[in-house]
Amino acid sequence: MTRLEFWQGNIACAEGALAAGCRFFGGYPITPSTEVAEHMARRLPKIGGVFVQMEDELASIASVIGASWTGTRSMTATSGPGFSLMMENIGYAIMTETPCVIVNVQRGGPSTGQPTRASQGDMMQCRFGSHGDSSIIAVSPASVQEMYELTAKAFNLADRYRVPTFVMADEIIAHMRERIEVPDTVEIVERRQLEKGALPFAAGEDGVPGFPTFGQGHGVHVTGLTHDERGYPSSTDPGVHDRLVRRLVGKVEEARHEMADYEVTNPDAEVVFVSYGSPARSVKQTVRDMDDERVGSLRLRVVWPFPDFALHEFKNARVFLVPELNLGQIAREAARHTAVPVVPIPELGGELHTPAQLAEIAEGYL
């Protein structure tokens, strides 16, 4: 059973998190993500959860990581400048393999930029923003429905792979109100617990160790320093560092296939749009309007790790067109994985590409 609602994207995001069992939210107000915090502040105390407004975004993400170590599903939501402030502790979450969900409602940057206009300018920052080699998971919703579904899914991915997972929304999706079918329940994949007496940072074949929840007698030492399988700092041994970082990156990158989530339209197409987030809505309309089997679309719901194999499903592709609300961030990633020309279609300032504009560009390649 489902029920119909008419919700704003940010509300759907918060409700999706609650449905997935999120019981801790640490945040700081920032446009255009504030409604997530406001909704959590209203809802969490009523269902035995904790909402705390921290003193800044550095503290928000820190509190979320702390909460996660008690075994609580926890999240924060932010935008542009706040996201930049979180980078260091995101690296800490990666290093310590702390599951957590970070919602970034992207707005125009750099700096304070355009607080009330949409952008997809943080797609590379979420992937590479924290120092050191690492991998993360990022999903990108293209509708209010997906704000709900992908936020819920982000918790499962975070817990399954023990890695910070990003919901890379944008101002358009977050502030748009749309019809949404709210399911009674969502699928929940629980965090695998560490077996008693096992080494806390020793991983099996999938590269993901069991989670030693605080307060259960594991006596685990968690550090952002390079650590061995016991969790003890070992910051000068080249071998320990090499093994650890390769495992942290490998556990995500090698699971690209199992976590892939994308939509293919017209797999025999010659001109293929690659999109994610709100521009995917313009692409959908363009492909429908053009009604030409030579024009196809690849829409990514999971953007990181990038599903390179999805590009290869288009055997006849002559060009990949990548409309983005940035100067070509995912376009550059796509170009790394294919010999077919990749053409970015950037749009800055907060307006979406119009279907007519995209159709005109596609026509040029037919």
Partner 1 sequence: MKDFREWLREDRMPHIYCTGCGNGTVINCTLNAVNQMGWEPENTVFISGIGCSSRAPGYIITDSLHTTHGRAIPFATGVKLCRPDLHVVVFTGDGDLAAIGGNHFIHACRRNIDLTVVCMNNYIYGMTGGQGSPCTPLGAISTTTPYGCDEAPFDLASLATAAGANYVSRWTSYHVKELTRAVKAGLETPGLSFIEAMVQCPTGYGRRNKLRDARLMVQWMRDHSVLMKKWKQMEAEGRPLPEDKFPVGEFVRRHRPAMGVPEE
Question: Pick from 110, 197, 204, 217: which binds partner 1 (CB under 8 A)?
Answer: 217
Is 204 or 215 the residue whose CB approaches partner 1 more closely? 215
CB of residue 202 to partner 1, shortest distance in Å: 16
240 lines the binding site for partner 1 (CB under 8 A): no
How many C-beta atoms lie closer than 10 Å to residue 341's C-beta? Answer: 12
User: How distant, in Å, are the alpha carbons of 66, 70, 128, 268, 312 from that of 99?
Assistant: 10, 11, 18, 39, 31
Is 108 or 212 the residue whose CB approaches partner 1 more closely? 212
366 lines the binding site for partner 1 (CB under 8 A): no
CB of residue 18 to partner 1, shortest distance in Å: 16
162 lines the binding site for partner 1 (CB under 8 A): no
Question: Pick from 11, 19, 64, 85: which binds partner 1 (CB under 8 A)?
Answer: 64
Q: CA–CA separation, 50 vs 344, rounded Å?
A: 43
Is 81 or 267 the residue whose CB approaches partner 1 more closely? 81
155 lines the binding site for partner 1 (CB under 8 A): no
Report the 3 state secondary structure along 125-155: HHHHCCCCCCCCEEECCCCHHHHHHHHHHHH
Question: Pick from 41, 220, 260, 340: which binds partner 1 (CB under 8 A)?
Answer: 220
Q: CA–CA separation, 78 vs 171, rounded Å?
A: 11
Segment lying near partner 1 (by CB under 8 A), choices 69-77, 140-148, 170-178, 357-365:
69-77
What is the pairing mode between strands 295-300 and 262-265? antiparallel
| Token pair for 275 | 């999109």
Whether the CB-CB separation of 175 and 11 falls below 8 Å is answered with: no
225 lines the binding site for partner 1 (CB under 8 A): yes
Whether the CB-CB separation of 33 and 175 falls below 8 Å is answered with: no
CB of residue 49 to partner 1, shortest distance in Å: 9
Is 84 or 316 the residue whose CB approaches partner 1 more closely? 84
212 lines the binding site for partner 1 (CB under 8 A): yes
Question: Pick from 18, 59, 174, 194: which binds partner 1 (CB under 8 A)?
Answer: 59
Is 84 or 357 the residue whose CB approaches partner 1 more closely? 84
81 lines the binding site for partner 1 (CB under 8 A): no
- Per DSSP, the residues of 154-181 read HHHHHHHHTSEEEEEEEHHHHH-EEEEE
Whether the CB-CB separation of 266 and 286 falls below 8 Å is answered with: no
CB of residue 95 to partner 1, shortest distance in Å: 10
Site string for partner 1, 38-57 (x = CB under 8 A): ------------x-x-xxx-
Three-class SS state of 103: strand
For residue 339, count CB atoms less than 10 angstroms from its CB and return exposed for 0-12, middle for 13-18, buried for 19 or more.
exposed
Question: Pick from 33, 34, 68, 78: which binds partner 1 (CB under 8 A)?
Answer: 68
- Per DSSP, the residues of 297-319 read EEEESEEES--HHHHTT-TT-SE
Is 110 or 217 the residue whose CB approaches partner 1 more closely? 217
# residues contacting partner 1 (CB under 8 A): 40
Q: CA–CA separation, 57 vs 249, rounded Å?
A: 25
Q: What φ, ψ does residue 188 adopt, rounded to 5°?
A: -125, 120
Is the peptide bond prior to 305 cis by the omega test (within 30 degrees of 0)?
yes
232 lines the binding site for partner 1 (CB under 8 A): yes
Q: Name residues contacting partner 1, limited to 7-36 (CB under 8 A).
A: 23-24, 26
Bin 88: left if φ > 0, else alpha if -120 < ψ < 50, else beta: alpha
Question: Pick from 18, 20, 65, 280: which binds partner 1 (CB under 8 A)?
Answer: 65
Binding positions for partner 1, rule: CB under 8 A: 23-24, 26, 50, 52, 54-56, 58-60, 62-70, 72, 74, 88-89, 92, 212, 214-225, 232-233
